[in-house]
């Protein structure tokens, strides 16, 4: 069975630039053909502020939107987060989406494509890594980072020299780690039974 990798667009902000970066990532991914890739745009999921009364570790979800989100996140073997930097961190909409479920994220792998001003979103990526570690998601080391200028100087995303190579390195690492984590999930399931 092919690996399933979710590309999570981590901003819902009107006028965001992440959709152009995510489209570029998806184009590169489709050329690779080493997994099934699906774009998950948080703006398309009506999660609202976390409204589940129970602990997500128990997976006793009251709302249909949470059950749908749970099934979607569970279906992936790994993730690529396309994340902007807002005030030295990542957007609240992404934190909210991460907090809705717990076990569904566990024992998966993730790569991060960050974007922002002069720091190219690297502080957002580092903050995201801390949260992903608590969700038992293994993040890979290679990290494409997009500086808004010059990448959007014309208003349209133009990848900087070397960015595609860094994305390729991240994806290579992500595929390897996703296979390893698939094995870890099977081992964990065997221990539990």
Report percent pLDDT > 90 for the chain.
94
Q: What's the rounded Cα separation, in Å, for the pair 186 and 193? A: 11
- Six-digit token pair at 150? 């010059």
Q: How far is CA 58 from CA 76, 113, 114, 133, in A?
A: 20, 31, 31, 19
Distance of alpha carbon 26 from alpha carbon 39, whole angstroms: 8
| Class in CATH terms, 4-192 | alpha beta
- pLDDT tens for residues 68-108? 999 999 999 999 999 999 999 999 999 999 999 999 999 99
pTM over 0.75: yes
> Which tokens sit at 183?
């094995």
């Amino acid at each position: 069975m092919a690996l399933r990798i979710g590309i999570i667009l981590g901003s819902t902000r009107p006028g965001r630039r992440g959709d152009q970066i995510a489209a570029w990532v998806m184009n590169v991914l489709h050329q690779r053909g080493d997994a099934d890739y699906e774009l998950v745009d948080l703006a398309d999921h009506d999660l609202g502020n976390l409204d589940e009364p129970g602990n997500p570790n128990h997976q006793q979800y009251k709302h249909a939107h949470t059950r749908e989100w749970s099934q979607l996140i569970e279906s992936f073997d790994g993730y690529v987060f396309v994340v902007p930097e807002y005030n030295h961190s990542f957007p609240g909409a992404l934190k909210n989406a991460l907090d809705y479920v717990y076990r569904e994220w566990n024992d998966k792998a993730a790569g991060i494509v960050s974007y922002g001003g002069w720091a190219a979103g690297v502080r957002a990526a580092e903050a995201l890594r801390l949260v992903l570690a608590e969700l038992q998601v293994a993040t890979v080391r290679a990290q494409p980072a997009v500086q808004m200028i010059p990448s959007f100087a014309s208003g349209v995303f133009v990848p900087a020299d070397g960015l595609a190579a860094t994305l390729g390195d991240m994806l290579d690492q992500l595929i390897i780690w996703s296979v390893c984590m698939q094995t870890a999930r099977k081992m964990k399931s065997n221990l539990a039974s």
